[in-house]
Amino acid sequence: MRKLLNLALGIVTSIGGFVEVGSISTAAQAGSEFGFSLLWAIAVAGLMLALLVEMSGRLAAVGHRTMVAAVRERFGFHFQLMPLSAELITDVLLLTAELGGAAIAVRMLTHVAAGWWTVPLALVAWGVLWLGNFSVVEDGVGLLGIVTLAFVVSAWRLGPDPHSLARGFIPTLPGHELTRYAFLAVSIVGATISPYLLNFYSSGAIEEKWTSSDVWVNRVTAFLGMGFGSVVSMGVLVTSALVLAPKGIKVENYDQAAQMFVPVFGKWAITLFALSLGIGCFGAAVEIALNIGYVLSQSFGWSWGINKRRVDVARFSLAFTVVFPVSLVISMLGIDPLQLTLVSVALTVVILPLVVLPFLALMNEPAYLKEHCSGPIGNGVLAVFTVLAALMALVVIPLEILGS
């Protein structure tokens, strides 16, 4: 019964995929510049993420392997080195951006410069991982993440025209700035389908000891959890379109983005935006750091698990510990978190084919999935995803240069 009711794993995973520095910034920019016309990109990205998350959870529940462990076993360590190296680079950059976003949120609340908050936030995030267990990460971040529904409440209170909203889910070419439009569409996908989410989710399923009997729970958790994140991200875009676009405000920093809450929440606008941004970024930072421990341990065959004693998983614990000072060193370079996010999103899109392609083989392996292998429809959808990932990987760098 607990597994039936407990959707925290899906919600906390979706917070990392949607309600964080990358998705808030891209959705806010899309709304302020193109109105509702990029709602379809969030819907497509959310559906892609939900399907991939469901597959990674099914692999963990039936095959008792995470994505990283299965790829290493099926394709060999030398193949695993490619996605491992790429994911470590993007994860460290994302962690730096998330800590920077959380620091900006605290600065909005305290009026003390963001630079003073990065180290304390990193220490708190590390403390959560060092002293807590998976339930703390899952239930704590999942519960706090409910505050991000403020974006949905704001969009609803503003009363958007239903017909205009519906048209936003139909891809159409804009009458201006086509390159910028394409860049934001690809960025939304890249900000949503971060590779770390898939392994974090499958590792969480192993931590919670899911079995073949939990396949249906996994499906419900994946789709409802990612649905939660999709709705919140759409709330960001719709609110931005209704408040910032008419004023001609293009979101270039988070202080501008925070203004979208003013018409609905008045004097509480900055506080609510800061809480939503801060909790989303902090939750994502905890997920990313924990996933780095997962990825390194599973790639090299070390013992791992946040539910185990730290002395019994020393190298796993060292991995998620070391990543924080590395991230802090990068943050000292003074790179704006929003700009760092754009770079991280582009790199995520570049490595996306390396993440999606192995699914085609793994989800058809009876040795892993038994009778739960993907059918013709699942394989067809996955093949389409693979082609789309390859196309986006080819165009994202030119779009990054021309569109941002």
What was the pLDDT predicted at 226? 84
User: What is the C-alpha separation between 45 and 30, in angstroms, rounded?
Assistant: 14
What was the pLDDT predicted at 241? 95
Average pLDDT over residues 374-402: 81
What was the pLDDT predicted at 261? 93
Phi, psi of 365, rounded to the nearest 5 degrees = -100, 105
pLDDT digits (tens, 9 = 90+) for 110-129: 999 988 999 999 999 999 99
Give the structural domain span for 128: 2-403
Residue 14 pLDDT greater than 70, yes or no = no
Min mean pLDDT across 123-137, 267-281, 319-333, 345-359 is at 345-359
Residue 139 pLDDT greater than 70, yes or no = no
Query: Based on the structure, what is the number of domains in the chain?
Result: 1
CATH code, 74: 1.20.1740.10
* Number of helices followed by number of strands (H, E) in the chain: 21, 0
What was the pLDDT predicted at 265? 92
The owner of tokens 């801060």 is 278
Q: What percent of the chain has pLDDT over 70?
A: 93
Question: What residues contact 235, with CB distance under 8 A and at least 6 apart?
Answer: 149, 151, 152, 153, 154, 155
pLDDT digits (tens, 9 = 90+) for 148-173: 888 999 999 999 999 999 999 998 88
What was the pLDDT predicted at 125? 94
Tell me the pLDDT band of 4, cut-offs 50, 70 and 90: very low
User: What is the C-alpha separation between 133 and 160, in angstroms, rounded?
Assistant: 42
What was the pLDDT predicted at 5? 46
Cβ proximity of 46 and 227 under 8 Å: yes
Query: DSSP assignment of 320-336, as one string?
Result: HHHHHHHHHHHHTT---
Residue 7 pLDDT greater than 60, yes or no = no
Cβ proximity of 71 and 83 under 8 Å: yes
Question: What residues contact 322, with CB distance under 8 A and at least 6 apart?
Answer: none
C-alpha triplet 232, 27, 326: angle, nearest 5°: 95
Average pLDDT over residues 30-59: 92
What was the pLDDT predicted at 13? 53
**Amino acid in the structure at residue 273:** F
pLDDT digits (tens, 9 = 90+) for 60-93: 999 999 989 998 998 888 888 888 888 898 899 9
Report residue 8 as tokens: 């925290």
